[in-house]
Amino acid sequence: MAGGIRNMTMPQILSFAVIFIMMAALVWGRYRYDLVAAAALLLALAVGIVPFDQAFSGFSDDIVVIVGSALLVSAGIARSGIMEVTIKRFAPNLSGVRSQLALLVIVVTILSAFVKNIGALAIMIPIAFQFARRSSISPSIFLMPMAFGSLLGGLMTQVGTSPNIVVSRVREELTGTAFTMFDFTPVGAALAAAGTIFLVFFYWLLPVREKLGGSVNEAINIKNYLTEARIVRDSTVLGKTVADLIKLSGGDVVVTSILRNRTMRMTPLPDVVLKVNDILLLEGDPEALDRLVSQGKLSVTGNRASGDDTTSELVAIEAVIGESSPLIGWTAQRLALYHRFNVNLLAVSRHGERLDRRLAEVQLRLGDVVVLQGNAATIPEILRELGCLPLAERAILLGSVRKGIVPVIILALAMLATAFGLLPVSVAFFAAAVGMVLFRVIPVRDVYQSLDGPILVMLAVLIPVSDSLRSTGATGVIAGELAKLGTILPATGALMLILVAAMAVTPFLNNAATVLVMAPIAAEFAGDLGYRPEAFLMAVAIGAGCDFLTPIGHQCNTLVMGPGGYRFSDYPRLGLPLSFLVVIVAVPMLMIVWPMS
């Protein structure tokens, strides 16, 4: 080992040094990860291990496109409301954190065996946020275990993850026979089962985090909005009771009154049956109100469109009534708000007071918070005319048109295209992201809010820095030292060495690149020791597919970093013991399933 280090070139030494400094800074956590990554790139350029013409090559890398597109697709799935319906149908009473986590991890693990793991994770992230809201906990409890579960699930089949596909090709080149679809299943299923049990029972090793870089809008916490909604002919709650209606919001909305036949006010007892044209006065926070309205298919606007252009984009904005507002002392009805200004009053909130009148009859006061819906192009001017001060912009979906099954179809088509090899993952997910915008699942104005800029920048600038290990030949030095060490180890130790080495290398190389570098070494290594190569090739695939220690080794880990508010140092807290478990389970399983002699 010492001889290998002494023979290292200066570029190789500098490459290791830059990586070490960067990792130390990320673990320290004093500066945000994208700034650390950018500084590492500048340092790599300064010492010459990254050529100037390769400095920004990471911005065109497939991984950046995949992660950005997956974030947008996941936002589209969440916005559609389909996840709320799914939860209500298949897990209506699931309230315990551990049972919720078990469902999420098991489903994403099984899905990842048959579709790309980042696609499976994108489907389940919105459900994780729904569970987190239901249980009043941080989504960080769910997201990292789900990401790790998606990596474990990918180990079970040939199409589950890129390393399995690459190692199959390498085996065919070396022996003339490729691994088949389910050759990976015995060992992969054992690892997935052991890993899932670990994640469900030891998730508490992970610190609870909130999303980093939260804006002022996330501090706005208005719980007592009053809105009114009408039961229409296609409402899902028509003919059902008030109690059934409340279940749609998870108990987070209160029905304060029911108006029937326009004049008769009814007490909203739980067993009151809802009829067509009943008007419900509802109180709750915007998310709960939106959940109830969208799932119950209620009308909050009376089918009034804002403006004459039916193709215009409608937005809902929260605003505070200022001291010079002409709204003060008037009701929306008396002011003819819709007819004069082409905006709908969707909700009103008044501090310290429960409103019990119809929305159009509420006399507005200074300091009231209102939700107004109007044309995206004209509503800023209307707010100025009405003397209302907009709150920090956040997604208010109340009264918005949902696309239902459309985003699910878009995502399904993307995953099928990758599963059958019709399109590369990057192209398929980019097309899905564009489809989300073209079909108006996500409004154009919200596209860049759905992308996590710091994560994408971190990925893009780290790609050339990590690649310096390969371009300077530093990975070759590692491989040579492994070969020397393996000659003095028993069969179990040699197999473990290859597995751990692949795990150690994959954070700094693309996982497919790790297989391309490590698989020939592993095969030659096995031949020199007189062993069959299959177990060693499988060990490389497992190691390359199991980066649980960093957010940069696999796009699934990167995908949850921003939404979960994780720090770089959070990953090894849960990932290091999981890595040990993988090694402990994988080595004997490999020796049983793939005899070495």
The tens digit of pLDDT for each residue in 514-560 reads 776 677 777 777 777 778 888 999 999 999 888 898 887 777 888 88
Amino acid at 536: F
Three-class secondary structure assignment of 237-248: CCCCEHHHHHHC
- Is residue 164 within 8 Å of 541, Cβ to Cβ? yes
pLDDT per residue as tens digits for the range 226-273: 888 888 888 888 888 888 888 877 677 888 888 888 778 888 888 888
Question: Tokens representing 520?
Answer: 């020939």
Burial of 339 (0-12, 13-18, 19+ CB in 10 A): exposed
Max CA distance (Å), the chain: 92
- pTM for this structure? 0.64
Which of 40, 42, 49 shows the shortest CA–CA distance to 14?
A: 49
Q: What is the pLDDT of residue 213?
A: 46
* pLDDT of res. 459: 72
**The predicted structure's pLDDT at residue 309:** 46
Q: Where are the beta strands (DSSP E) in 307-465?
A: 314-321, 344-349, 369-375, 388-390
pLDDT tens digit string along 311-344?
Answer: 456 777 888 888 888 899 888 888 888 888 888 8
Question: How many other C-beta atoms are found inside a 10 Å radius of the C-beta of residue 149?
Answer: 30
Length of the chain counted residue by residue = 597
Mean pLDDT by 10 residues, the chain (597 residues): 64 86 77 84 92 87 78 75 65 77 91 76 81 83 93 83 76 78 88 95 86 47 77 86 81 83 81 88 80 80 50 74 88 84 85 79 88 82 87 59 73 79 83 88 76 76 78 73 74 88 77 70 76 88 88 81 85 93 95 87
Distance, CA of 524 to CA of 514 (rounded, Å): 16
Q: Which amino acid is at 520?
A: P
- Phi-psi category of residue 421: left, alpha or beta, with phi > 0 → left and psi -120 to 50 → alpha: left
